[in-house]
Structure 1
Amino acid sequence: MTRKCLRVLNTLFILVYGIACTKVFFKGTNINFGLVQYRNAVDISKQKTMSHCMILCKRNIKCMTFFYNAKTGECVLHSKTFKYNQPELNSGNWKMYLFEVADTRCVSNASGFLYYRSLDLCYNFNAEHYIDYTGHFLPTCASYGAELLRIESQDRQTYVEHILEGRPTTRVAIQGRSESPGFVWTLFDGSPLSYTNWRLPGPLTGDYYVQIFEEDQWTEQRNFNVDKDAIFLCEIR
């Protein structure tokens, strides 16, 4: 007897190896129709259908988006959403899909949170705004039940550089601050920074917050500066 699996709304129950149905929640929209990018792909292969391409994405924890060409069967997996830059090639017959796994803390909603499984990172992008950590960046993240993005490892730093490629402004607010009396750099919960990427010769001493700046290196930034803009990322931990 042939077993069948059903699609209900955006939930696809896929028959895997003819044995069991795997529940996969995904958002599939025709984003950038006709465009694709091979550079920095986490995997490139030939697959019979879009569903097979999606299964491949599900098995690869670095996959967040996938491109599928129904004419050629090409399947291209990527670890980002191309927020700030378009895929590079226009070759027709391509559709791009955002992959989401059901039952995580990070199912997409109006706040646009995305889940990168490889780093267990649930984050969103927020619009460019003049620099205001305590008056805008932190309250905005808190309104989502989130906090300003932490970068606690080289893997996180590398990934953040990847997803920020092509951003419209150089400055990116991230978590970390130095305050009196000791002027020790810590996360907002008071724990020391376990990883840093300071631009040489290092940060100034004083009351400052952390920002990503030129060449994705870190520099200090005052709490408030109406003459300078930054984008910021929030994360749900």
Structure 2
Amino acid sequence: MSKKLRMNLRLGLIVVLIAKVICYQGASFVIEMEDIRFDLWIISSLYARSRLDCSKTCEIHGTCLSFQYSPLNGQCRLFNTIFLHQDAGVSDIGWQYYIVSNRRCRDPFIDGRVLDICFMFAGFHNLTEAKTKCAANNSNIISITSAEQNQFLSRLAGTFSYLSLPGASYKRPFIQGSWGGTAWILDNGTPLVYTNWDIGHPMITSNRRYIKFLDGQWRATIPDFIRSVFCTYQP
């Protein structure tokens, strides 16, 4: 099944690119990039007779969020992340990259599967804009509630390492949370249930009372910097 090709570029990042969809037992996988090979965060590498067989393998692997298949040699690679831009890979003719489609999540969100979240990349914004963007999609800035989710965001943010962006802050996403005066709290006022502060942090000041994500560690930040934004909700 094919749809009209749509591309929305934001500072060179592919936000939406739909060219072809394959389906397996109610799950769909959307092709995002072609002729690019990704060598990072491979959770399984095998040979498959077809794209459909490769997608079946991804479907039964609970942590698989995307896969690559090359019809030229039958190679199938499974990933526990998604790649947001082709610069995270290398040029290699024949490779086709698929992202797991919404499943339990409404468009344009992606199902995080075992993480039990629906997520989307919402571009680059300051904190006020980020909250507005996520709210417009009936979601919130990503909140980290476990070590597994922290590792997940680390992989997502890691794809920015290969991009030339206007500033370092663009590669350091906002995390939901703020200093409430006596404790760090989520947007709904409840305390954080998980933290992963960097050594010597958080360093709280009058305006440095929000959270940024840097190489898997957390630090306090001001709301004015432009950062990458991921919106999430629970399916």
TM-score (normalised: structure 1): 0.78
Contact 2:102 2:110 (C-alpha < 8 Å) held by counterparts: no
Structure 2: stretches of 5+ with no match in the other structure: 4-20
Q: Does 1:143 align with 2:105?
A: no
Contact 1:127 1:231 (C-alpha < 8 Å) held by counterparts: yes
Contact 2:42 2:77 (C-alpha < 8 Å) held by counterparts: yes
How many angstroms apart in 1 are the aligned matches of 2:87 and 2:63?
Answer: 19
Letter in 2 for 1:139: T
Partner of 2:148: 155
SS at match of 1:125: strand
Q: Which has the larger radius of gyration?
A: 1
| Matched pairs, number | 207
Deviations 1:100-158 (A, max 9, x none): 264x1x1433xxx21121211211112222x3x3x322222111110111011111111
How many angstroms apart in 2 are the aligned matches of 1:11 and 1:76?
Answer: 16
How many angstroms apart in 1 are the aligned matches of 2:71 and 2:40?
Answer: 20
1:39: Cα distance to partner? Answer: 3.2
Contact 1:11 1:23 (C-alpha < 8 Å) held by counterparts: no
Deviations 1:141-188 (A, max 9, x none): 1111101110111111111000111424243111111123xx311112
Letter in 1 for 2:221: Q
Report the RMSD for the aligned CA atoms in angstroms.
2.3
Partner of 2:117: 121
Q: Does 1:71 align with 2:67?
A: no
Q: Does 1:48 align with 2:49?
A: yes
Question: Identity over the aligned pairs, expressed in percent?
Answer: 20
TM-score (normalised: structure 2): 0.78
Residues 43/23 of structure 1: CA separation in 2 closer, same or farther (3 Å cut)? same
Letter in 1 for 2:144: I
Partner of 1:26: 29
* Greater mean alpha carbon deviation, residues 146-155 or residues 166-175: 166-175
Q: Does 1:231 align with 2:228?
A: yes
Q: Does 1:220 align with 2:220?
A: yes
Partner of 2:191: 192
Contact 2:33 2:86 (C-alpha < 8 Å) held by counterparts: no
How many angstroms apart in 2 are the aligned matches of 1:152 and 1:217?
Answer: 14
